[in-house]
Amino acid sequence: MGNGCEVKSETHRALPAELTSFVGRRQQLAEIRRLLSSSRLLTLTGMGGAGKTRLALRTATETQRAFPDGAWFIELAALRDPQLLPHTIATALDLRHVSGNPLADLTDHLQEKQLLVVLDSCEHLTEACAVVVSKLLAEAPGLRVLATSRHVLDVEGEQVLAVPPLSIPEDAAVPIGEAPHYEAVTLLVERARAVDPQFQITEENRGAVIELCQRLDGLPLALELAAVWLRALSPAQILDRLEDRFQLLTTGRRTGPARHQALDAAVAWSFDLCSPEEQLLWTRLSIFSSGFDLEAAEEISAGDGVPREDVLELLAGLVGKSIVVRQHDMEHGDSWYRMLETIREYGARRLPSAQVDAIHLRHRDHYRSLANRFDREYFTSHQGEWYLRLRREHDNIRAAIEFCLCHPGEADAALDIAAPLWPWWHAGHLQEGLLYLVRALDLAPGPTRSRGYGLFAASNLAIRLSEFDRALALLAESGEIAEQLDDELLASRVKQCQGHALLHSGHPAEAVPLLEAALDDARRLGQPRDEWRDVNLLCLAMMFVGDPRAEDLGRKAVELAEDHGAEASKGWALWDLGLAQWRAGRYQDADRSLRDGIGMFLPMRNLDGVSVCVQGLSWCAASSARRARCPSARSCRGGLARHRWECLAGGLSRVRPARRRAAAVGDR
């Protein structure tokens, strides 16, 4: 499709790759570069299917060398909650340590940077985008923003460029040699050759090709939808069928703009040419936000006229018709499918009203099941894969939770999705995860298992945000529910989390007995994941109170993670071990442990883990240098320990509050 793209993740400067050739737009590209040179905010406006996204991406690709800190693409089509806009931008910019004020964190992060940010599909978040962009531009002088929207943002200093359709001949009698000079004709022919390499403009089909471009008003999306059918139909046959569709549209909405009719005609005509089963699948797949895999398509779309065993073949048919775009996911080695927003919106409108709730409930159940699988497989060799998978599924998780929060009686289901994912919320989505959990807890006050574990999950996130009193209050209620339900695992996790809160609020001695009791429970209940976490937290607590057992506990945590193939957990255990070794004055061993931890975190792009390990390495370097300057420091009774503790406290005090919390807690 004209706006089709696949996202690369190898580097933060990577932009979505173009899957098809870019046609025309030289004048618009030149005008965009000119406007960006004199303005820091440029909004490309136009209707859906006009090619705004593709034009913005081409601009970013051609100009990214001018920005030392890169060009970044941020897709907003799937985002529905305006409150999450700053979090979404922060995550896309690889800003992982976000506090309770993500907009302030963003301004701090961008203040000294020179970069281009592409905000794609802002129209449903116009007010929120205006507020955020205004703030960022005011505080970050090196920032340029290129937005795409069906409406202007109405921000001071905003330049607006309306994206026109591709150029089309005014006269169908244009000579064959001149027809390719028009962008719409060139696009239609290039896409036609992708499905039929022998296709070319001839004297016989010239008039139909040009009239087809005219009737579709030069809209890239409409032209690409039509081009797909040139493998089976002639331009004249397509034109005849489109004529029927235009008559239908004109009868139904005489006052509609011709350009909107052209796009509706192309999409509706493509819908009509699909088989009834393909049409059903198209409408049901519209439930997904930002894409889906085959497993999700089968679970949610099958039934009521679409046999599960037929989903793959029907999906392949939609891919062949360019309704669905297939992307090969390099991180997962499998296929990921997406619809352009215009196509998805059309499918959602055609989904029978009697099926809407049923499809939403299937979608909810799929992502509740996904969250439960993550919970079961978290402390296994699949841990790294899960982090990557959830990053890909983020928008669908949001959509499933939002559905539950907006429908009476579904709050427990929201907790069942959000609570098991608490380790993943730590990986850059703290505020978002806590927001969802708090909203769901407010809607589900009963003493249920879902509420008990939701309180536990929320307390974990609150601790990471240094909201210790709030965390302890949540845990008190969770403990009461555990007692009422006789849930020993939940009771054990409450002790664990209470110890966690005390440890990181500056009371490590009080944390130790709670963590030891939780560890005994975990071993008795046969819960290796909880055993690992208890050992890990005890390592930190022992380190803080100066207990020499800290290093042995760190090694035990590493062994437990290795035994279960849990690479992220091993990374955090190596961080704890490294800190214990650093505290003991064994800087080379600490350096080695921390570097090994970085090696665990990098493949899964866990930047939280990388950052705290790098910070630990800086403490090792500082302490080693200090020892070299003061050979007698070791012999000073208590002097070296105090010196190291001052280094730790000083290092933590000099970073932003969000980073300080990350260094103290980590992604657990």
More confident residue, 181 or 41: 41
Predicted confidence (pLDDT) at residue 202 exceeds the cutoff of 70:
yes
- Asked whether residue 376 carries a pLDDT value surpassing 60, the answer given is yes
Identify the weakest region by mean pLDDT among 185-199, 389-403, 601-615.
Answer: 601-615
Contact 291, 340 (CB under 8 A): no
Q: Would you say residue 161 has pLDDT above 80?
A: yes
pLDDT score recorded for residue 332: 60
Q: Is the pLDDT of residue 661 over 70?
A: no
More confident residue, 340 or 617: 617
pLDDT of residue 656: 36
Query: Is residue 516 a contact partner of residue 538, using CB atoms and an 8 Å limit?
Result: yes
* Stronger pLDDT, 47 or 370, i.e. the higher one: 370
Name the residue among 529, 458, 465 with its Cα closest to residue 492.
529
Residue 176 pLDDT > 70: yes
Higher local confidence (pLDDT), 168 or 11: 168
Q: Which residues of 558-568 are buried (b: 16+ CB within 10 A; e: fewer)?
A: bebbeebebbb
Kindly list the distances between the CA atom of residue 550 and the CA atoms of 482, 539, 544, 575, 591, in Å, as whole numbers in the listed order. Answer: 30, 5, 9, 12, 17
Q: 438 CB contacts (<8 Å, ≥6 apart)?
A: 458
Of 49-63, 230-244, 550-564, the range with the highest mean pLDDT is 550-564
Residue 175 has pLDDT above 90, yes or no: no
DSSP class of 602: G
Contact between 89 and 106 under an 8 Å Cβ cutoff? The reply is yes
* Model pLDDT, residue 648: 39
Across 484-501, average pLDDT? 97
Q: Are 2 and 224 in contact (CB under 8 A)?
A: yes
pLDDT score for 628: 64
pLDDT band at 496 (very low <50, low <70, confident <90, very high): very high
Q: Is pLDDT above 80 for 370?
A: yes
Tell whether the torsion through CA atoms of 108, 113, 114 and 115 is positive or negative.
negative
Q: Which of 368-377, 381-390, 473-482 has the lowest mean pLDDT?
A: 381-390
Give the pLDDT confidence score for residue 322 in this predicted structure.
78
Return the bridge partners of 336, or none.
327
How confident is the model at residue 245, as a pLDDT? Answer: 63
363 and 399 Cβ atoms separated by less than 8 Å? yes
- pLDDT bin (cut points 50, 70, 90) of residue 259 is low
User: How much of the chain exceeds pLDDT 70, in percent?
Assistant: 88
- Report pLDDT for 612: 87
Is the Cβ–Cβ distance between 463 and 430 less than 8 Å? no
Q: Taking 90 as the threshold, does the pLDDT of residue 226 lie above it? A: no
Reply yes or no on whether the pLDDT at 666 is more than 50.
no
pLDDT higher than 50, residue 653: no
pLDDT at 439 over 80: yes
Mean pLDDT, range 518-544, rounded to an integer: 96
Considering the chain, what is the average pLDDT of its residues? 86
Identify which has the larger pLDDT, 286 or 18: 286
Residue linked to tokens 């099926």? 355
The percentage of the chain sitting over the pLDDT mark of 90, rounded to a whole number, equals 57
Helices (H), 112-182: 126-139
**Alpha-carbon gap, residue 408 to 403, rounded angstroms:** 10
Helix (H) or strand (E) holding 222: helix 220-228
How far is CA 572 from each of CA 425, 569, 620, rounded to the nearest angstrom?
A: 16, 5, 17
Locus of tokens 């990921």: 336
**Cα–Cα nearest to 420, from 400, 403, 406, 442:** 400
Contacts of 59 (CB under 8 A, 6+ apart): 29, 32, 33, 36, 146
Q: Which helix (H) or strand (E) holds 589?
A: helix 587-601
pLDDT band at 657 (very low <50, low <70, confident <90, very high): very low
| 665, pLDDT greater than 70 | no
**What pLDDT shows up at residue 246?**
59
Confidence (pLDDT) at 6: 32
Average pLDDT over residues 260-271: 76
CA-to-CA separations, 175 to 215, 235, 581, in angstroms, rounded: 19, 17, 79
pLDDT of residue 247: 59
Predicted pLDDT of residue 630? 57
pLDDT at 662: 32
For the cut 70, the answer to whether the pLDDT of residue 253 exceeds it is no
pLDDT in tens, 451-462: 999 999 999 999
User: What are the pLDDT digits (tens) for 4-15?
Assistant: 333 333 333 458
555, 536 contact by CB (below 8 A): no
The pair of structure tokens assigned to 244 is 């029927």
- The 10s digit of each residue's pLDDT in 583-597 is 999 999 999 999 999
124-131 contacts, C-beta under 8 A, 24 or more apart: 124/76, 124/80, 125/76, 125/79, 125/82, 125/85, 126/151, 126/153, 126/154, 127/82, 128/82, 128/83, 128/85, 129/76, 129/85, 129/153, 130/154, 130/155
Q: Which domains are present in the chain?
A: 5-162 (3.40.50.300), 201-273 (no CATH), 276-351 (1.10.10.10), 385-406+423-430+455-664 (1.25.40.10)
Average confidence (pLDDT) over 396-418: 96
Task: Provide DSSP, 361-411.
Answer: HHHHHHHHHHHHHHHHHTTSTTHHHHHHHHHHTHHHHHHHHHHHHTSTT-H
Give the residue among 432, 422, 472, 482 at the shortest CA–CA distance from 452.
Answer: 482
Min mean pLDDT across 174-178, 482-486, 499-503 is at 174-178
Position with higher pLDDT, 573 vs 181: 573
- pLDDT bracket for residue 651 (50, 70, 90): very low
Task: Say if residue 147's pLDDT is above 70.
Answer: yes
**Mean pLDDT across the stretch 139-150?**
94
Whether 300 shows a pLDDT value over 70: the answer reads: yes
Residue 341: which pLDDT band, with cuts at 50, 70 and 90? confident
Lowest mean pLDDT among 121-130, 333-342, 646-655: 646-655
**For helices 383-392 and 567-583, angle between their N-to-C axes, nearest 10 degrees:** 110
Model confidence at 248: pLDDT above 70: no
Which residues are bridge partners to 75 per DSSP?
A: 120
pTM: 0.78
Cβ contact 189:201 at 8 Å: yes
pLDDT in tens, 635-646: 443 344 344 434
